[in-house]
Amino acid sequence: MSQFISKKNFEQLKKLAYKTLKVKKGMFLFQEGQMGQNFFVVLSGKFQISKFSGDGKELCLRLCGPSAVIGELMIFSDNGRYLFNGRALEDSEVLVIKNEDIEKELLANSEFAVEFLKMMTDHFRKQHTKFRDLVLYGKKGALYSTLIRMANSYGIQTKDGILLDVPVTHQDLANFSSTSRESVNRELNTLKSKGIISFKGRKIIIHSLDYLKKQINCEGCPSSYCNIE
Amino acid sequence: MSQFISKKNFEQLKKLAYKTLKVKKGMFLFQEGQMGQNFFVVLSGKFQISKFSGDGKELCLRLCGPSAVIGELMIFSDNGRYLFNGRALEDSEVLVIKNEDIEKELLANSEFAVEFLKMMTDHFRKQHTKFRDLVLYGKKGALYSTLIRMANSYGIQTKDGILLDVPVTHQDLANFSSTSRESVNRELNTLKSKGIISFKGRKIIIHSLDYLKKQINCEGCPSSYCNIE
DNA sequence: GCATTTTTGTGACATACATCACACGATTTT
DNA sequence: AAAATCGTGTGATGTATGTCACAAAAATGC
C-alpha cells in the first residue's frame, strides 16, 4: 500500500473509479498538454512520469508502481491539461477516476478531503526535494539524488551494499538527472573508483549511501520524501 | 485580493488567526529547517521566499504581497520544519494561524477544505512551471521566466512597453534564476542590444514579452500561473 | 557636498558539461 | 551463426557559465 493514502481512503478512491484500463508497455496513458478529465490510480505495472523540453530531451520525475496516484495535478485546474507524460514501462492496469467525481466527493466528505490534501502536500514536498537537488546541487547532485531515491524505492540490502534492483540504463539515469548519458557514465565510474558504488552485471550496488547523501546535504530529510515514486 | 482564495475564505482564514505579527524589514519570519506550528497570511508589506544552497547561495522562489499565504507547506508534515526562508523586504504585517487550527477547520468545513486544496494545487502548478523553466531551459530560461513573471505581477503597461515597477538589482534577478550577477548583467545587455528590453533608471522596460515567452515555450501557460507570487 | 556604499559593467580565465565520434562487448533477432 | 541492435566506455572539442579582479556609475549617508 502506498505511503500516501490510507487503506480506507484507497478503498474510497476505488469506489469512485468508473472503469479500469489496461495500458500496454510503452504506451502513453496521458501526455503533457493533452486535455483530459481523469486521473489515475496504478493497480499493476509501472509508469514513468516525465516532461519534454523544447529540444526533445526528456526529464523523468517519478516511477510509479501499484497504488500510486498519477495525473492528479490537473484536479481543479482551469484549463484541464496534463502537465506531464505518463508512460507505461510494463504492461499495466489503472483505475480511472473522473476529476468531477473526486471534486464532488471532496466536498461531501471532509475526512477524505483532508486525507487527500495530506497526500497532495506530501507529494508537493517530495517534488520540492527533487527540485532542490536539481537546481541547487547541479547535475552531479541530481544524479546522486536519483541514486538515493532509487535506493530508497528499489534497494535491496545485501552484505555487499544496497543493490538497486531495477533495470536502468545510464540513459535513464541521465533523464532523471537532466544530464547526458556520457556524463552519467563518467560520474558513475568516478564513484566506482572511489569505492562508493560498484556494478553487478548491469545493476548498481551502493556501498556508501552516506557519501552520496552528504554531497547534497540530505541529512535531515525524512526518507519518506526521498524516493522516486 | 489574491487570486488564490475567495474573499469569503480569506475572511475565514482571518477568523482562524490567533494573532497578527509585525515584521521589520530584513527580518526572517521563518527559516528553513526551523521547527514551527504556524503559517501566515500577509496583510501588508512584502516577503521573499527563498532557499539556501550548501555553499551559501540563495535561490529565490516567490515575492509575496498582501493576502498571499506563506509558510503553508508544512501543514500536515511529519516533522514540522519549514522548507523555505521567509524574509520581509519591507516593514510588514502578517496573520498568524496555527497549523492545528486549520487542520481542524478543514475537517469541519469541507467547502473550505476544497477551496484550500484548490489553492494548494494552484500553487503547486505555479511552482512546477518555475521548476520547468529552471531545469529545462537553463539559466537563460530561468532569467526570462523571472522577467515574464515580474512583468505579470508588477508590470505597468506604458506606450513604451511594460515597465517592471519593482526595485530589483541584477543580484536579485540572479537569485531568482540560480545564476550569477555577472551572467544576468551580460544577458540583460544582450537583450537590450536586441531591442527586447531597455532600462529606465534602474528599472527594466520589456518591449517584447513575446520574444521572451517564445524562448521558453511559454505560449500555452495560463498567466495566472506565470507570476512571481 | 563629500565620503561611503551599493550597483553595474566588462575582460580574463577556469570549470562543468554537452556534443560528437567511434570502439567494443553484450544481447537480441533473423 | 551471422547480423543487427543496444548499452557502455572514452577521447577530443566546443560552449555556457561561474569566478575573479577591478573600474565606473549611481545611490546613500553624514
pLDDT in tens, B185-217: 999 999 999 999 999 988 999 999 999 998 887
Assign residue B18 the CATH number of its domain: 2.60.120.10
Q: Which amino acid is at B33?
A: G
Query: Half-sphere exposure of residue B1, counting CA atoms within 13 Å on the CB side?
Result: 9
pLDDT at B2 over 50: no
pLDDT tens track, chain A, 229 positions: 344 567 777 888 889 999 999 999 889 999 998 999 999 999 999 999 999 887 778 899 999 999 899 998 888 887 788 989 999 999 999 999 999 999 999 999 888 888 888 888 888 888 888 888 888 888 998 999 999 999 999 999 999 899 999 999 999 999 999 999 999 999 999 999 999 999 998 899 999 999 999 888 776 667 777 899 8
Tell me: do A141 and A187 sit in the same domain: yes
**B136-160: per-residue pLDDT in tens?**
888 998 999 999 999 999 999 999 8
Tell me: do A19 and A98 sit in the same domain: yes
For residue B75, is it within any domain?
yes
> CB under 8 Å to A16, separation ≥6 — which residues?
A97, A98, A101, A102, A105
Q: Which three cell numbers stand for residue B135?
A: 531545469
Model pLDDT, residue B131 = 81
**B94-152: per-residue pLDDT in tens?**
999 999 999 999 999 888 888 888 888 888 888 888 888 888 888 998 999 999 999 99
pLDDT at B1 over 60: no
Which of B108, B142, B167 is a domain's end point? Answer: B108
Q: Which three cell numbers stand for residue B84?
A: 523555505
pLDDT at B53 over 50: yes
Model pLDDT, residue A2 = 41
Tell me: do A159 and A104 sit in the same domain: no
Are B130 and B205 in contact, with CB atoms under 8 Å apart? no
Nucleotide with the nearest C1' to A167 CA: D7
Which of B53, B73, B108 is a domain's end point? Answer: B108
Tell me: do A100 and A131 sit in the same domain: no
Which residues of B lie inside 8 Å of A (Cβ-Cβ)?
33, 51, 53-54, 57, 59, 73, 75-79, 81, 83, 103, 106-111, 113-114, 116-118, 120-122, 124-125, 127-128, 131-132, 134-137, 178, 216-217, 220, 222, 224
Tell me: do A88 and A134 sit in the same domain: no
For residue B87, is it within any domain?
yes
What range defines the domain where residue B158 resides? Answer: 125-216
**B156-186: per-residue pLDDT in tens?**
999 989 999 999 999 999 999 999 999 999 9
For residue B23, is it within any domain?
yes
> CB under 8 Å to A143, separation ≥6 — which residues?
A173, A177, A179, A184, A187
Count H helices and E strands in chain B, helices first: 7, 12
Nearest to A222 among B73, B79, B122 (CB): B79
Q: Which three cell numbers stand for residue B133?
A: 523553466
Model pLDDT, residue A174 = 96
In terms of DSSP bridges, do strands B69-70 and B38-44 run parallel, antiparallel, or are they unpaired?
antiparallel
Assign residue A162 the CATH number of its domain: 1.10.10.10
Report how far apart, in Å, the C-alpha atoms of A74 and of each of A38, A101, B118, B128 are.
9, 13, 10, 12
If we measure between CA atoms, which residue out of A154, A141, A160, A139 comes closest to residue A62? A154
Torsion sign, CA atoms A220, A127, B26, B187: positive
Which of A73, A108, A143 is a domain's end point? Answer: A108
Model pLDDT, residue B122 = 85
**Average confidence score pLDDT of chain B:** 89
Nearest to A117 among B57, B116, B134 (CB): B116
* A124: chain B residues, CB-CB within 8 Å: 73, 120, 124, 127
d(CA B109, CA A117): 13
The domain tally of chain B equals 2
How much is the CA Rg of chain B, to the nearest whole Å?
Answer: 18
Enclosing H/E stretch for A140: helix A138-154
For residue B228, is it within any domain?
no
> CB under 8 Å to B114, separation ≥6 — which residues?
A103, A106, A107, A113
Tell me: do B153 and B81 sit in the same domain: no
Q: Which of A32, A77, A116, A117 to mutate to probe the B interface, most B CBs <10 Å?
A: A117
For residue B14, is it within any domain?
yes
Alpha-helix runs per DSSP H in A92-109: 99-108
Model pLDDT, residue B4 = 55
Tell me: do A132 and A104 sit in the same domain: no
For residue A113, is it within any domain?
no
B59: confidence class by pLDDT, cuts 50, 70, 90: very high
Tell me: do B150 and B99 sit in the same domain: no
Predicted TM-score of the model (pTM):
0.90
Strand D within 7 A of B137 CB: no
If we measure between CA atoms, which residue out of B121, B134, B153 comes closest to residue A116? B121
Model pLDDT, residue B219 = 67
B36 CA – C17 C1', rounded, Å: 40
For residue A225, is it within any domain?
no
**A33-46: per-residue pLDDT in tens?**
899 999 999 999 99
For residue A92, is it within any domain?
yes
Tell me: do B34 and B91 sit in the same domain: yes
Torsion angle (degrees, nearest 10) of CA B37, B41, B44, B46: 80
Nearest to A76 among B33, B111, B117 (CB): B117
**B64-99: per-residue pLDDT in tens?**
999 899 998 888 887 788 989 999 998 999 999 999
Nucleotides of D under 7 A from a protein CB: 6-12, 16-21, 26-27
Tell me: do B94 and B170 sit in the same domain: no
Q: Which three cell numbers stand for residue B132?
A: 520547468
Are B60 and B48 in contact, with CB atoms under 8 Å apart? yes
Tell me: do A57 and A84 sit in the same domain: yes
Report how far apart, in Å, the C-alpha atoms of B78 and of each of A114, A126, A159, B52, B120 are.
15, 13, 31, 22, 18
> CB under 8 Å to A38, separation ≥6 — which residues?
A71, A96, A97, A98, A99
Tell me: do B144 and B170 sit in the same domain: yes
Alpha-helix runs per DSSP H in chain B: 7-16, 99-108, 110-136, 138-154, 170-177, 181-193, 209-215
